[in-house]
Structure 1
Amino acid sequence: MLLILALLGVTFFLAYSFYHNTYTYWARKGVPYEPPLPLIGNMLGLGTKYNLRDVNQRIYNKFKGKTPLAGMFLFFKRTALIIDPNLIKEILIKDFHHFQDRGVFNNVRDDPLTGHLLTLEGQEWRSMRQKLTPVFSSGKIKQMSGVVVEVGRHLTDAMDKSVSAAKVDDGDVEIKDLCARFTTDVIGSCAFGLECYSLKDPNSEFRTKGAMMFTRPRHSMLVQAFIFTNTKLAKKLRMKVLPDDLTNFFMAAVKNTVEYRLKSGVKRNDFIDQLIELRAENEEAANKGKGIDLSKGLTLEQMAAQSFVFFIAGFETSSSTMAFCLYELALNQDIQDQVREEIESVLEGEEISYDTLAKMTYLEQVVAETLRKHPVLSQIIRECNQSYKVPNTDIVIEKGTSALIPVHNIHHDADIYPDPERFDPSRFELEEVNSRHPFSYLPFGDGPRNCIGMRFGKMQAKIGLVSLLRRFRFDISKKTEVPLILDTRSPTLSTKHGIHLKVERI
């Protein structure tokens, strides 16, 4: 009994020491912070009452104007909430070498699809970024735009059928799912060279597998939170985040496409063609050694991982942007009319093309304002890889600390964007843009680790919007939520009940 009591005492002492050392960190550093709660840090209500953007908002409001950064805890993970836009610039660009990594989980050995550009670190990330940057050049994206325009025709056909079916329901159409099926078909074609037919069949395999990432995670929220905040330990424990059937599906899709194209000599100037040009001639030699060595080219698994992240990131972000944009245009008919007028004046009855999109300056402002008000990723996270002294302060961000840039909260700061809930594309007229701090608008991040697919994402969203606005008018219906009810459990900005609008043919 005495031994048991002694063990309990030691266990309690160690647990208390860990708790005390962890949660008094910011106090010891003299950094303003919000006091954390045991185990959950500052995450009380996360996933039930609040999303992370709501937690960030509370801390942002509390410390804005008082300090360049504030301390917080993502469960046990010490995190610096970066408030000052000048410091954001230092972290993302000038002193990027201190904050190169995202600190996001990857386990290439056991979960090969996690070895993609979004999660890779250090030299592995640099090598992969260097390999893939030419794939996303303006010229390459222009070549892929023809595929997107073709899928845009299928989008209008699908919308036409939805409008016919919706006549019995006041013309109400759920927009988000239709936009997601459009971007699924676009990226399925560009990244895998496959006809996904999601617009014809909402239950197509590609659509189902893509949605699985957000609707059928491998683990419970508690385990996901552990992996998210203990990435290196989770990797050592050989944990996975992706369901095995999802991994098998995407691996097979890439393998089959690559083999077919190599045998047949078929070329489509799409993403998978670009990856084939980077492939390793000798798969066995490229697989040897520790970590990722790209000097011999991309292995099949590495090609699959890049295709996978292109698919997952591209279909969700662009479809959400399209849906939120149509929602705002339904609420602001004058803006919708102005966009449509510009579209018709530029196209003059001709087909959409990459070059004509570039002439639609008001559409660019509308999309920019959509991304300002509805940034799909609410925050940017970087991990400090070498201790960093914050300029003009005595504060040191130590190695292993996460730096969190609260994009959503900056985009809704009334001191930067007056009346932030109002949808106003004129905020992105050149004069207005030049009057603001350049780091007060970050829907794609910035610096060397910004979103590599930014041009492609905006291109496909614009083609989808132009295709729809030429043939349909969008208005509020009986089911339209004003304001929208957002999903607190989603890692991206997402509505709880979809986006319902009244749609009429023009």
Structure 2
Amino acid sequence: MGGIILRIDHICDSVMKLYNDFPEERRFVGRYEFVNELIMVRDIDLIKKIAVKDFEHFLDHRFIFSSSESYFSRNLFSLRGGQEWKDMRSTLSPAFTSSKMRLMVPFMVEVGEQMMQSLHQSIKQSKDGSIDIECKDLTTRYANDVIASCAFGLKVDSHNDKNNTFYALGKETSSFNFRQMMTFFMLINAPALAKVQPMTYFVKALPSSFSIPQLLKLDFLSESSKEAFKKLVLGTMENRELKNIIRPDMIHLLMEAKKGK
């Protein structure tokens, strides 16, 4: 785990190594992740039983985002199971049917056409009629604009407006830097400590530039980012209700789910 914390190894490589190191263990293999026991299921039939046939016995997910204050704690992958999980699943499942997902394909196509127009424009403006493309940056900006359109109902052009607000928020959310890595391991292995409220005298003793949330009451998103996302979603929903706007994106599906439709 030290290699992952120091960003020498990728977590996917660690998981793959665990899988490949024990080929004789056909069904499952386990290890310790600091103080936590971890089991990797290798057998496809056993996976089917856990995920489908005996699903009701395996409701609980890994308890990472335990605090109700975390924006990541209220989704299906973080809830511990029980009635709250069942209620959340019954609310969200109708919003993710294949027919409703297909309604968002035109938004993805629109963003793709926007990307192509940006590339054509860049080629025209080049001296020799060609440009170098950083594929990771290109696809990241495309994905960002798709999420903005399909999830939030926003029209964003991250290819021409390189540093737009939504792209900056998305970059902060998706970047797994050292601070977030340490936050992740703290939430897994010492969740009680991660939620500790700092003592007043301790706070006053620290430099004004020191950010307490980075040490205690840990979360992946900064307060400013959480507030920005909150205003974005609630503002969009309020505007649509006032103007009776219907757009078949995730905001609309969740508004319908809220109404029980």
TM-score using structure 1 length: 0.43
Q: Do structure 1's residue 147 and structure 2's residue 107 form an aligned pair?
A: yes
Identical-pair percentage:
31
Label 1:193 to 1:218 Cα distance change in 2 as closer, same or farther (>3 A).
Answer: farther
Deviation for aligned residue 1:161: 3.5
Match of 1:87 in 2: 46
- Give the one of 202, 227, 239 matched to 1:248: 227
Q: Do structure 1's residue 46 and structure 2's residue 11 form an aligned pair?
A: no
* Contact 1:189–1:195 under 8 Å retained in 2: yes
Deviation string for 1:9-56 (max 9, x for gaps)?
Answer: xxxxxxxxxxxxxxxxxxxxxxxxxxxxxxxxxx24224332222223
Match of 1:271 in 2: 250
**Unaligned ranges ≥5, structure 2:** 198-216
Label 1:165 to 1:130 Cα distance change in 2 as closer, same or farther (>3 A).
Answer: farther
Letter in 2 for 1:221: M
Deviation string for 1:48-72 (max 9, x for gaps)?
Answer: 3322222233332221123522221
Helix, strand or coil for the counterpart of 2:184? helix
Label 1:214 to 1:143 Cα distance change in 2 as closer, same or farther (>3 A).
Answer: closer
* Contact 2:123–2:130 under 8 Å retained in 1: no
CA distance in 1: counterparts of 2:150 and 2:15, whole angstroms: 36
Helix, strand or coil for the counterpart of 2:68? coil
CA distance in 2: counterparts of 1:241 and 1:165, whole angstroms: 40
Deviation string for 1:119-146 (max 9, x for gaps)?
Answer: 2231222222211222122221222222
CA distance in 2: counterparts of 1:169 and 1:77, whole angstroms: 56
Q: Do structure 1's residue 261 and structure 2's residue 221 form an aligned pair?
A: no
CA distance in 2: counterparts of 1:98 and 1:244, whole angstroms: 37
Match of 1:190 in 2: 150
* Number of positions where the alignment pairs a residue of Structure 1 with one of Structure 2: 239
* Contact 1:107–1:235 under 8 Å retained in 2: no
Q: Do structure 1's residue 105 and structure 2's residue 84 form an aligned pair?
A: no
CA distance in 1: counterparts of 2:64 and 2:25, whole angstroms: 33
CA distance in 1: counterparts of 2:8 and 2:113, whole angstroms: 40
* Contact 2:72–2:78 under 8 Å retained in 1: no
Residue pairs, 1:65-84, within 5 angstroms: 65-84=24-43
* Contact 1:185–1:197 under 8 Å retained in 2: yes
Deviates more, 1:175-184 or 1:219-228: 219-228
Q: Do structure 1's residue 63 and structure 2's residue 39 form an aligned pair?
A: no
Q: Do structure 1's residue 120 and structure 2's residue 99 form an aligned pair?
A: no
Label 1:167 to 1:49 Cα distance change in 2 as closer, same or farther (>3 A).
Answer: farther
Deviation string for 1:335-354 (max 9, x for gaps)?
Answer: xxxxxxxxxxxxxxxxxxxx
Helix, strand or coil for the counterpart of 1:46? helix
Residue pairs, 1:2-41, within 5 angstroms: none
Who wins on radius of gyration, i.e. which is larger?
1
Letter in 2 for 1:94: K
RMSD: 2.8
CA distance in 2: counterparts of 1:146 and 1:220, whole angstroms: 35
Label 1:235 to 1:115 Cα distance change in 2 as closer, same or farther (>3 A).
Answer: farther
Deviation string for 1:371-398 (max 9, x for gaps)?
Answer: xxxxxxxxxxxxxxxxxxxxxxxxxxxx
Label 1:169 to 1:92 Cα distance change in 2 as closer, same or farther (>3 A).
Answer: farther
TM-score using structure 2 length: 0.79
Deviation string for 1:417-442 (max 9, x for gaps)?
Answer: xxxxxxxxxxxxxxxxxxxxxxxxxx
Larger RCO, structure (CA 8 Å, separation 6 or more)? 1
Label 1:159 to 1:252 Cα distance change in 2 as closer, same or farther (>3 A).
Answer: same
Deviation for aligned residue 1:247: 0.4
CA distance in 2: counterparts of 1:150 and 1:185, whole angstroms: 10
* Contact 2:63–2:188 under 8 Å retained in 1: yes
Helix, strand or coil for the counterpart of 2:233? helix
Deviation for aligned residue 1:210: 0.3
Match of 1:395 in 2: none
Match of 1:488 in 2: none
Deviation for aligned residue 1:171: 3.9
**Unaligned ranges ≥5, structure 1:** 1-42, 281-296, 298-506
Label 1:57 to 1:262 Cα distance change in 2 as closer, same or farther (>3 A).
Answer: closer
Label 1:169 to 1:129 Cα distance change in 2 as closer, same or farther (>3 A).
Answer: farther
Deviation for aligned residue 1:211: 0.8
* Contact 1:70–1:81 under 8 Å retained in 2: yes
Letter in 2 for 1:192: F
Label 1:152 to 1:78 Cα distance change in 2 as closer, same or farther (>3 A).
Answer: same
